[in-house]
Amino acid sequence: MSEHVEAKPVEKPIRIKKYANRRLYNTASSSYVTLDHLAKMVREGLDFVVEDAKSGEDITRTVLTQIIFEAEGKGQNLLPISFLRQLIGFYGDSLQALVPSYLELSMASFSKNQEQMRHYVQDAFAGMNPFKQFEEMGRQNMAIYQRAMSMFNPFAGQGGAPGAPGAPPPAEGEPSKDLDSLKDKLEAIQKQLDQMTREK
């Protein structure tokens, strides 16, 4: 006779309401909060959604972007200018739909290595130089990124990206086939990232 195991209830994200006066209200604590409070909640791993108090629209992405904007404005720079330029360049690009998934995979790989990086930093204060390890990890991550980008680009090895000088124009009927191929490659990237992480 098998024992009945009760499933743990899934915790719902905390609802934050944003009013017309830009004030943010935490419905869980019944108190007004600031963007700094929300940033702290993110660092603590607390899940939340932000809704427009009047329309009920989910504006979480906009508010999170605002948190990043304010942090960057205070000099806590995490986003290199070159990265921002490249990111802006993908808006309206044919690969725009794939960029969010690629960035998620890249950050997931980086997050898996963050504890190792923290140990390197701590060892530096004990007299060890962590830069050699950082360089090695950087090379490994760059190899992952380059492999991922080559998989994202269906024209890799054929003269460059679509629209680039010397790139052959795609034949009629190819876009849908390329899209299916890109989806398969996206799944392959996830498997490769997981495998590389386990091998480290």
Tens digit of each residue's pLDDT (9 = 90 or more) over 115-126:
777 776 666 655
Residue 192 makes CB contacts below 8 A (sequence gap 6+) with 144, 147, 148
Out of 38, 73, 108, pick the residue that ends a domain: 73
| Higher-pLDDT residue of 192, 84 | 84
Q: Answer whether residue 112 is part of any domain.
A: yes
To the question of pTM greater than 0.75 for the whole model, the response is no
| Higher-pLDDT residue of 67, 132 | 67
Angle at 46 between CA 27 and CA 118, to 5 degrees: 155
Is residue 130 predicted with pLDDT exceeding 60?
A: no
Is residue 182 predicted with pLDDT exceeding 70?
A: no
The confidence score (pLDDT) of residue 56 equals 95
| Higher-pLDDT residue of 178, 156 | 178
Among residues 104, 137, 102, 143, which one has the least CA distance to residue 118? 137
Number of folded domains that form the chain: 2
Q: Answer whether residue 61 is part of any domain.
A: yes
Q: Give residue 190's pLDDT band: very low, low, confident or very high (50, 70, 90).
A: low
Low-confidence winner among 27-36, 70-79, 88-97, 158-167 (lowest mean pLDDT): 158-167
Q: Answer whether residue 4 is part of any domain.
A: no
Residues 39 and 87 in one domain: no
Is residue 175 predicted with pLDDT exceeding 70?
A: no
Q: Answer whether residue 5 is part of any domain.
A: no
Residues 68 and 115 in one domain: no
Is residue 27 predicted with pLDDT exceeding 70?
A: yes
The confidence score (pLDDT) of residue 166 equals 44
Out of 73, 99, 118, pick the residue that ends a domain: 73
Q: Answer whether residue 23 is part of any domain.
A: yes
- Looking only at the bridges linking them, the beta strands covering 31-33 and 48-52 are unpaired
Paired strand residues for 14: 48
Q: Give residue 113's pLDDT band: very low, low, confident or very high (50, 70, 90).
A: confident
Is residue 29 predicted with pLDDT exceeding 80?
A: yes
| Higher-pLDDT residue of 153, 82 | 82
Out of 73, 95, 118, pick the residue that ends a domain: 73
Q: Answer whether residue 1 is part of any domain.
A: no
Residues 154 and 118 in one domain: yes
Is residue 54 predicted with pLDDT exceeding 70?
A: yes
Residues 58 and 91 in one domain: no
- Determine the structural domain holding residue 157 and report its residue range: 81-162+172-199
- Looking only at the bridges linking them, the beta strands covering 24-26 and 48-52 are unpaired
